Amino acid sequence: MDDQADVHGTGPTEHPEPPFRRPVLLVLLTVLVFAEALVVLGIGAWLIAQLSLEEPESYATAVALIVIVLAAGVWVLAIGVCLVRMRGWTRGAVLTWQVLQVIVAICIFQGLLLDVVDGWPVLVVSLLGIGLLMSPSVVAATRREV
């Protein structure tokens, strides 16, 4: 009986590691980042539709804006995928994205973009993302062990 236990690696001297459970706050942050990516990609699709429906003042500027928005959406989507994989570098990328959204919210509040009330959802989502990102369980789960 002891021979079989040694063959299978389940001998009495080994302690099995408990299964790793992903922190709930990390799951919430990942869902939030994927939702943000879908919104940005949706805005890119809307811009493409607008380009086909209306004539812009400058096609070059319109196409450049579409490329930038779609690239940002793909980047945020990549951040979400790497959050699922719990990569350490994603904390910096998520923080950068959330700060950029805070800047957009400030621009909306100043009346540079959209209506002033449209800035509140952007600001709230960004602050929620920063709060989730800085939670100890998320930091511990994405910490890079050297």
135 — alpha (psi -120 to 50), left (phi > 0) or beta? beta
Query: pLDDT tens digits for 50-103?
Result: 999 999 899 999 999 999 999 999 999 999 999 998 888 899 999 999 999 999
Residue 144 has pLDDT above 70, yes or no: no
pTM flag (> 0.85): no
Q: What is the mean pLDDT of residues 106-118?
A: 86
